[in-house]
Amino acid sequence: MAFDEVRYEQEVIRPMRGKHGRISDNDLVRVYAYEPGTSADALQAHLRKLRTYWNQRASGPDNRARVCKQLLAADEELRRRLGAQLNDPAWWERLAQKTAQAAQESIKQLADDLVRAYGAIGQVTREQLAVVAERYPALKQPDVDEACRQAAIQVVDTVELPQQSGLDRVAYRELRDKLRELGALTIVHLLHPGLDRPFTLVRGFSVPGGPALALSPEVLRERRSAAEKEADSSSVRARKRALGVLDSGLKQGADLPTVALFQVVELCAAERAKGIADVLLVRLAADLGLAPEDARLLVASLPTGVDVASNDAAEVRVLLADGQLRAAQQALAALPDSDPERAAVEQAVQRQLDELRRLAQGAETALRERREEEAERLLREAVRIAADDRDLAARLNRLPPPPPRDAALVATGTQVRVSWRPPNTALPDLRYLVIRVEGRAPTGPDDGTRVGETAATSVTEPSVVAAREVHYGVFAAASGGTWSRPALVVGRVVPPVGDVRLRTRADEIAASWHAHPDLVAVRVCRQRSRPPADVRDGLAVPSGRTSFVDREIDEGAEYFYGVVAVYHDERHREVAAPMTVVSASPRAAGQPVEGLTAVPEESFDGGVARVRLTWPVRFAQVRIRSAPELPGWAPGKVVPVADMERYGQEVVGAQVADGDLMVLDADVPLGPRVYVPFTLGGTGAVVGRGVELGLTEPVGQLRARRTGTRAVLTWVWPADVRLAEVAWAVPGTATDVRRVSRAQYVDGDGCVVKVGPAGGTATVRGVSIGPTGESLSPPASVTVSGSAVRLAYTVKRPPGFRDRLSRRRVVEVRTDQDCADVDLTIVVAPGLAMPVRVEPGMTSFAFTRLRFTREVPMLLSFEVSAAIRRPYWIRCFVVRPATVTLVDPPVANMKVA
């Protein structure tokens, strides 16, 4: 019998750790590691080794020492009681038999215990079994397994259930609420509404014997998409929200099956915490939809030691953290007094209530002390603690905002503009009310004249009482809230005269202006050549309320007038407005220029041309302006100089007197333009009579190529010219004038004219078309020589049967016009190629000084030598004059093949 320390520690020492009480006789065989059949010597040796081991371990530092000490004590007692029997193998054999019988009874007893404890659910976890089996230390693992078999209890391995959902706490709570609102038992039912079969969740989602469903993000998205298409209702909204919470959670890393399992676990754990028996918990899980096996496994795996009190307390804490103080109070009320955490939670709630009270009182105090910003800040803090306190929210909404900041008043003429900056508040949708009171500040939004209510930060009052102290109050309020205290601004508006207009003649200056209705007088002073410093600086000019006329002036001098409006204040004291200064120079009105002429000078360079403008020298101060179109003013109209300068461009150049004329030579743009003279005089410019002149660049490189009776005219088009006027002048006939567009020119391969014997002259001008009409460029001309007199001929056999068979031939010549002194040669040339000229050695027949009459054929007879073999050609040539040409007949007529 060999003693195995390792095995002994594992099977005997370790199970005895933490156990108290004496070792029973039925446990001796195991404690002494006795094996049946051991001899006496072997038994003694075994006991010696065993005790040695106990002694060695009893002095050790670990918990084996305590066990060994216990065993040594028990051994000492046993030796004292039994004496030598302890070394007798027979005694140990009897003890072993007795122990085996006791084990059978223990197995039965354990089986009974298991049936009582776990028979209802039919399963026990391995951990639970170990705890129960500890009560039967004499039983070995096979005995325990036998007890389970006898009890028909299944031993299962527990699974680790999720402690958290993986969702944000608030989100999970909202999900739970929405499921409750929907009547969905679990998240599984939310995602698979039609599921009517049990499912598993603990080790993964499946529907045993059912369809292949899944808890996946794809399913969630499908459900969301389907929910979006459903008609709107409260339940659909709740479903969409629940699905949305899940979707957001998944995007943040949550696992859908874990969330679903946690929900079931949470429900079951809460019930267990209430002391519900496991069998009922299994039923609860099954009612939630879990398959029986899964339900049992879940209940078996539920964590122990969780009680409802801790969950409710946590709920209160969560509510406090979420700023739901009133809900936390209600949750606290439902917390049983026995809850161990009640005191702590109650304390936390009370702290928040105290803080809320402090903030509310502080806000009241700040409001009384006109510290609206502070009151708003405190109330907002209070709302953050108790967001579910409707009274508190209403108080915040009713809170008047602080008054607007930096109110200012600006008077412009008779208008007053009141502006301000928004108050320092977080209240949304502010609007402002502006109230005006004369002589004192407005006290409330109803105290005074209502100037305007706006969401902007300024209002303009078109007219106010002049020279009076006016107080403006600007009140602010949030939408639906009360008006704030006013932001005050005070001012006194003393408007000057406005829109002063002067009419100047050589002998008088008249002025008029717009005056405020409250104006009582206007004082005018005049200075020569400089502005007056104030109303007493210079000569006083009598004035009415809205105008004056000054005739004591010298023509050509410059006068400055200071115009001051005078008002009465509340005590009828005079109040002077700021002085308005205007100036004028009396001079005679200009006369409209008549007789302007514009003559082009043929110089075109870089898109500009030169023009000479002349007008009578008697007109002084004349400006010439040019534009593509006529001005909108009739001649003689007096227009402000500024308006004149907006018309066209001034023709720049030196104006030189040349006898009775003023001459201006200038470069001007190409194309049709209008030149308008303006005479400066009086208070403006007088429009003169304009002239139109179009300047167009001429065409370049005009050429003509005559072929026969036609000539092709070609030229180079200037860049901006798209149209040309072609005049074809033939002596003795009317000139043919036609317009040729650039596209026609390109398509028609140039411009073709018909050429007669007299020839002709082609003149081409570029044409520019503008708003005032068209202009022609300077002409380009080319002369085309006349076409030659055309003689047409045919080769014939002579008439008559006999001559028809002879080698005689007749050339019949016709002409389109009369001609004389024509020398003709008829060539008979053998060969394939047509003769191109009369050459020595050729067979030829000369006819001289012929005179042709139009349309009268002339017959020229000759005989072809018999020596000439086919093929040969018969062709006529004009020897002279050069102005006559021949038109060949068809090849078949000339060629004898």
Partner 1 sequence: MRKVSCPYCYHKVDGHRLWYQCAGRGSPGKKQCEAEKDADRARETGFSEGVRPSFGIQTRSPFWPARATCPRCGGETGIRVCPRCHTPVSANFGATRSPLIAMVGAKGTGKTVYLNVLARELLHGLRRRFDADVRLSGTGQRAAVTEKLAIDNVFADLRLMAHTATALNGRRPPAVFEWRREQPRIAGIRRGYRTTFLSFYDTAGEDLTSQDQTHDLVYLGAADALILLLDPFMIPRAHSLLRLPQEAVRSEESTVDVVNRVTEKLRASHGIRSRRRIKIPVAVVFAKIDAYFDVLGADHPLVRPAPANGAYDEAAGQATHEQVRALLYDWGADDIDAHLRYNYAKFRYFAVSSLGAPPDYATGDVDRGGVRPFRVDEPLLWLLSGFKVVPSRGRP
Binding site for partner 1 (CB under 8 A): 700-701, 703, 705-708, 710, 712, 714-716, 745-747, 749-750, 787-788, 831-836, 885, 888, 890-892, 895
Task: Tell me the closest approach of the beta carbon of residue 604 to partner 1, in angstroms.
Answer: 17
DSSP string, 462-517: S---TTSEEEEEEEEE-TTS---PPEEEEEE--PPPEEEEEEE-SS-EEEEEE--T
Task: Tell me the closest approach of the beta carbon of residue 779 to partner 1, in angstroms.
Answer: 17
Q: What are phi and psi of 475, to 5 degrees?
A: -105, 145
State both tokens at 310.
Answer: 């801790």
The residue among 533 and 743 lying less far from partner 1, judged by its C-beta, is: 743
State both tokens at 580.
Answer: 């308005």
Q: Sign of the CA dihedral 892, 893, 894, 897?
A: positive
d(CA 841, CA 829): 10
d(CA 418, CA 459): 5
The residue among 568 and 790 lying less far from partner 1, judged by its C-beta, is: 790
The residue among 40 and 746 lying less far from partner 1, judged by its C-beta, is: 746
Reduced 3-state DSSP string for 168-218: CHHHHHHHHHHHHHHCCCCHHHHHCCCCCCCEECCCCCECCCCCCCCCCHH
The residue among 455 and 832 lying less far from partner 1, judged by its C-beta, is: 832
**β-strand pairing of 884-887 with 789-796:** parallel
The residue among 393 and 838 lying less far from partner 1, judged by its C-beta, is: 838
d(CA 656, CA 614): 9
Answer yes or no: are the C-beta atoms of 430 and 477 closer than 8 Å. yes
Task: Tell me the closest approach of the beta carbon of residue 834 to partner 1, in angstroms.
Answer: 4
CA of residue 696 relative to chain centroid, distance: 51
Task: Tell me the closest approach of the beta carbon of residue 701 to partner 1, in angstroms.
Answer: 6
Task: Tell me the closest approach of the beta carbon of residue 747 to partner 1, in angstroms.
Answer: 7
The residue among 503 and 703 lying less far from partner 1, judged by its C-beta, is: 703
The residue among 604 and 715 lying less far from partner 1, judged by its C-beta, is: 715
Task: Tell me the closest approach of the beta carbon of residue 225 to partner 1, in angstroms.
Answer: 23
- DSSP letter at 518 equals T
Task: Tell me the closest approach of the beta carbon of residue 833 to partner 1, in angstroms.
Answer: 4
Task: Tell me the closest approach of the beta carbon of residue 209 to partner 1, in angstroms.
Answer: 34
Which of 821, 866, 868 lies closest to 848, judged by CA?
821
The residue among 238 and 764 lying less far from partner 1, judged by its C-beta, is: 764
Task: Tell me the closest approach of the beta carbon of residue 789 to partner 1, in angstroms.
Answer: 10
d(CA 373, CA 826): 125
d(CA 832, CA 272): 127
d(CA 191, CA 549): 94
The residue among 136 and 717 lying less far from partner 1, judged by its C-beta, is: 717
Task: Tell me the closest approach of the beta carbon of residue 283 to partner 1, in angstroms.
Answer: 51
The residue among 583 and 883 lying less far from partner 1, judged by its C-beta, is: 883
Which of 332, 178, 326 lies closest to 242, judged by CA?
178
**Rounded to whole angstroms, what are the CA distances from 94 to 1, 22, 29, 76, 86?**
18, 21, 10, 21, 12
The residue among 231 and 833 lying less far from partner 1, judged by its C-beta, is: 833
d(CA 441, CA 473): 7
> Which residues lie across from 267 on neighbouring strands?
none
Cα angle for residues 837, 840, 841 (degrees, 5° grid): 115
d(CA 874, CA 882): 21
The residue among 363 and 721 lying less far from partner 1, judged by its C-beta, is: 721
Task: Tell me the closest approach of the beta carbon of residue 869 to partner 1, in angstroms.
Answer: 18
> 612: part of which helix (H) or strand (E)?
strand 608-616
Task: Tell me the closest approach of the beta carbon of residue 593 to partner 1, in angstroms.
Answer: 44
Answer yes or no: are the C-beta atoms of 339 and 312 closer than 8 Å. yes
Q: CB-based contacts of 777: which residues, under 8 Å, 6+ apart?
A: 695, 696, 697, 698, 699, 718, 721, 765, 766, 767, 768
Task: Tell me the closest approach of the beta carbon of residue 714 to partner 1, in angstroms.
Answer: 3
Task: Tell me the closest approach of the beta carbon of residue 711 to partner 1, in angstroms.
Answer: 9
Buried b (16+ CB within 10 A) or exposed e, 293-323: bbbbbbbbbbeeeebbbeebbebbbbbbeeb
Q: What are phi and psi of 835, to 5 degrees?
A: -70, 140
Answer yes or no: are the C-beta atoms of 733 and 694 closer than 8 Å. no
> 562: part of which helix (H) or strand (E)?
strand 559-568
CA of residue 14 relative to chain centroid, distance: 74
The residue among 383 and 767 lying less far from partner 1, judged by its C-beta, is: 767
**Rounded to whole angstroms, what are the CA distances from 71 to 17, 47, 58, 68, 323?**
11, 12, 9, 5, 62
The residue among 521 and 896 lying less far from partner 1, judged by its C-beta, is: 896
Task: Tell me the closest approach of the beta carbon of residue 885 to partner 1, in angstroms.
Answer: 4
The residue among 410 and 743 lying less far from partner 1, judged by its C-beta, is: 743
**β-strand pairing of 843-852 with 858-863:** unpaired
The residue among 275 and 841 lying less far from partner 1, judged by its C-beta, is: 841
d(CA 620, CA 653): 16
The residue among 745 and 852 lying less far from partner 1, judged by its C-beta, is: 745
Task: Tell me the closest approach of the beta carbon of residue 653 to partner 1, in angstroms.
Answer: 34
Task: Tell me the closest approach of the beta carbon of residue 795 to partner 1, in angstroms.
Answer: 14
Task: Tell me the closest approach of the beta carbon of residue 740 to partner 1, in angstroms.
Answer: 12
The residue among 116 and 710 lying less far from partner 1, judged by its C-beta, is: 710
